Amino acid sequence: MRRLTLPLLSASYLSLALILALSLWRNGGGWGAGVAGLVGMLALCFTFHGLIGRALETEGLRKELEQIRLAHRIMITQMERLDARVTEVVSTVADDAVRRNEELSGEVHMLEDLVQRMSQRLEERMSAPAVHASGRAPHQTRQSAALLETVRAALADNRVDLYLQPIVGLPQRRTVFYESFSRLRDETGRIMMPAEYLSVAEPEGLVTSIDNLLLFRCVQIVRRLAKTDRKVGIFCNISTASLADETFFPQFLDLLAANRDLAGALIFELGQAAFDARGAVEARNMGKLADLGFRFSLDKVVDLDIDFQDLARSDVKFLKVGAQFLLEQLTDTDEGLVLKSIPDLAAQDFSSLTRRYGVEIIVEKVEAERQIVDILELDIAYGQGHLFGEPRAIRDQVLAETDPPADFMRTSMGGPGRRRAGARG
């Protein structure tokens, strides 16, 4: 368009100059006046054209400058908003970091207390004279001391593994829960089963300390696993000794209170005999856990004639019954199939009875397909056992993220520079 405009304007200026020159020539001015008029008119037109062009160019520059100023103001506004957002994010991150550091500090102090108390008990027991060995032979005492030292070293070096076994919904067999098992490893990597180390730890009064430490560690790992899938619950064993521990339990309760979001992912499990024998302290502390939203499960069931009202009051939501034990309870009568422990109740109505009190049955130790047929006839919703999956160790990197510093553990458990039990940093 500009290429066409310039020739048209030039033609217009030339036409005006020619008209002026012709007018002067025809009015008697002669050729000189005509040429002078032509040149003068052309000079005037192009001068005027230059002025108009500069004015238009100036106006264009002014508009562009105004647009630049507007863009600059918009950019400053956006930068101010971004700065405010960054400041808010930094403040939030800083607050979260402070809160997280406080939580970790509390957990480290709790772990320090547990380890130091166990270390002190170990030293006291292992330094005791042989006459305190309750009649055991010297070589048995030495073996027990060596095994206790192996347990101490395993805990000091964080050789504690967490195994998970699936609990499936029936009949679909989809995993809905896991049960956790803690295992210790010696320095060669050999897995130490509880039956092995408890045989010496229990007589020496160390079971409570070990239970507390493993329970604390289990909660740490469950918290880590729950970040990826909060829909799957994990059963974690808790002993009545831990519930009654006046030093451990208040700290443990504070830890769970700070992690109430785990209530849907963590179910505490204890044996039927331990539940029935619990005292006022244990019952009260179970109530405190229930107030935080945590649920309970009973395993090692040996009697199906249960006070379900008591279970409901104690927030027991699951009842684990061994498959072989349950099937051995089935008896044919003239009234149909019943359970030996509850002869006046039809066997297929047992699960309905428990559900009325908010309790679901989990049949554990299911080993064979032939057991499934009878279990399904009893309308039981959950199953556990090697048939559905064996316990498997969780990933090493997940365990590593819950480990306290190795040098801290070695120091607390009696390594170089260990502080005395009861000392605090």
Domain boundaries, the chain: 1-106, 107-412
pLDDT by residue, tens only, the chain of 425 residues: 455 555 565 666 566 666 766 665 666 556 665 566 666 666 666 676 666 667 767 777 777 777 787 777 787 777 777 777 777 776 666 555 555 555 545 555 555 565 555 556 555 555 554 444 445 555 556 666 777 778 777 767 777 777 889 999 999 999 999 998 878 888 888 888 877 777 777 776 667 777 777 777 777 777 777 676 556 788 988 888 889 988 888 888 988 888 888 888 889 999 999 999 999 999 999 999 999 999 999 999 999 999 999 999 999 999 999 999 999 999 888 878 888 888 888 989 999 999 999 999 999 999 999 999 889 999 999 999 999 999 988 765 445 544 444 443 343 333 433 333 333 33
N residues, the chain: 425
Q: 333: helix, coil or strand?
A: strand
E strands in 174-228? 174-185, 191-192
Q: How far apart are CA 268 and CA 25, in angstroms?
A: 119
Q: 358: helix, coil or strand?
A: coil
- Residue 94 backbone dihedrals phi, psi, to 5 degrees: -65, -45
Element (H, E) at 92: helix 30-126
Q: How far apart are CA 286 and CA 319, in angstroms?
A: 16
Residue 288: what pLDDT? 95
Residue 122: what pLDDT? 55
Q: What CATH architecture applies to the domain 107-412?
A: Alpha-Beta Barrel (3.20)
Residue 267: is it exposed, middle or buried by C-beta count within 10 angstroms (0-12/13-18/19+)?
A: buried
Element (H, E) at 393: strand 392-393
Q: How far apart are CA 242 and CA 208, in angstroms?
A: 6
Residue 123: what pLDDT? 57
Q: How far apart are CA 102 and CA 108, in angstroms?
A: 10
Contact 311, 303 (CB under 8 A): no
| pTM metric for this prediction | 0.65
Contact 412, 122 (CB under 8 A): no
Residue 180: what pLDDT? 87
Q: Would you say the C-alpha torsion 81, 85, 86, 91 has a positive or negative sign?
A: positive
Distances (CA, A) of 230 to 24, 72, 104, 226, 227: 101, 48, 21, 5, 7
Residue 405: what pLDDT? 41
Q: How far apart are CA 240 and CA 253, in angstroms?
A: 14
Q: 266: helix, coil or strand?
A: strand
Which residue, 416, 400, 419, 86, is CA-closest to 220? 400
Measured at the CA of 382, the angle between CA 380 and CA 388, to 5 degrees, comes to 125
Instruction: Name the token pair of 248.
Output: 């451990």
Q: To which residue do tokens 């331990």 refer? A: 274
Contact 393, 178 (CB under 8 A): no
Element (H, E) at 297: strand 295-299
Buried b / exposed e across 387-410, counting CB within 10 Å, b at 16+?
Answer: bbbeeeebeeeebeebebeeebbb
Residue 186: what pLDDT? 83
Q: At what angle do helices 30-126 and 2-24 cross, to 10 degrees?
A: 160
Contact 243, 249 (CB under 8 A): yes
DSSP assignments along 339-353, one per residue: ETTEEEEEGGGHHHH
Residue 228: what pLDDT? 66
Question: ω into residue 343 within 30 of 0, thus cis?
Answer: no
Residue 31: what pLDDT? 60
Q: At what angle do helices 194-201 and 138-156 cross, to 10 degrees?
A: 120
End-to-end CA distance of the chain: 84
Element (H, E) at 364: strand 360-364
Contact 294, 256 (CB under 8 A): yes
Q: How far apart are CA 390 and CA 366, in angstroms?
A: 11
